[in-house]
Amino acid sequence: MEIVVATSVGVLTAGGVYLILRLRAFPVILGLALLSYVVNVFLFSTGRLAINMPPVLQKYGEASYTDPLPQALVLTAIVISFGMTAVLVMFALGAFLEADDDRINMGDADEDDTAQKETGA
């Protein structure tokens, strides 16, 4: 169980980082989505891995339980990362439509703009 979770966290993170480094809008969005999934899995494991246990304190009896806090954190993280991904997609779309180019790297564009202004002046 620990091996499976740890390996998947590692593999997904590696994949996410690789995709972000592609510097094209679509792979970067996919990479960030992968990272946001993997961080949720990671957060689950911070409360220790437990199977078939309720996430609440048992008032009666000495039943063991799983830590409820990481689950709440994951829920918050899911909502936020979902909203952020939507914003990111809209940004990428806006930038693509404006620039006709899906590169994240904008060094050249900046130079072009300066050059235009200089010749204009």
Partner 1 sequence: MTHWIIAPVILPALLAPIIAFVMRHDSTLARTTSVAGTLALFVISIGLTITAMGGETLAYQLGDWPAPFGIVLVLDRLSALMVLLTSALALVVLIHVIATKWDEKGRHFHALFQFQLMGITGAFLTGDAFNLFVFFEVLLIASYGLMIHGGGRVRLQAGLQYVVMNLAGSTLFLFALGTLYASTGTLNIADLAVKLREVPVEDAALVRVAAILLLVVFAIKAALFPIHFWLPATYSNAPAPVAALFAIMTKVGAYAIIRIYTVAFGPDVAATEGLIAQWLMPAAVVTLAVGAVGVLGARRLMPLLSFAVVGSMGTMMLAVAAFTPYATTSALYYLVHSTFSAAALFLLADLVVTRRPAGDTLTAQRPTVQNGLFAALFFAAAIGMAGMPPLSGFLGKLVILDAIRDSSFMTLGWVAILLGSLLIIVGFARAGSILFWKSTAEARQEEEDEAEDAAEAEGDAPADMAAKPATPLEVAPTMAAVALLALLSAAAGPITDFLKGASAQLYDRDGYISAVLPEGDAPNVAGTEEEAH
Residues that bind partner 1 (CB under 8 A): 20, 25, 28, 32, 35-36, 39, 42-43, 45-48, 62, 64-65, 69-70, 73, 76-77, 80-81, 83-84, 87-88, 91-92, 94-95, 98-99, 104-106, 109-110, 113-114, 117-118, 120-121
3-state secondary structure the chain: CHHHHHHHHHHHHHHHHHHHCCCEHHHHHHHHHHHHHHHHHHHHHHCCCCCCCCCCCCCCCCCCCCCHHHHHHHHHHHHHHHHHHHHHHHHHHHHHHHHCCCECCCHHHHHHHHHHHHHHC
CB of 53 to partner 1, least distance (A): 10
Closest to partner 1 by CB, 1 vs 62, is 62
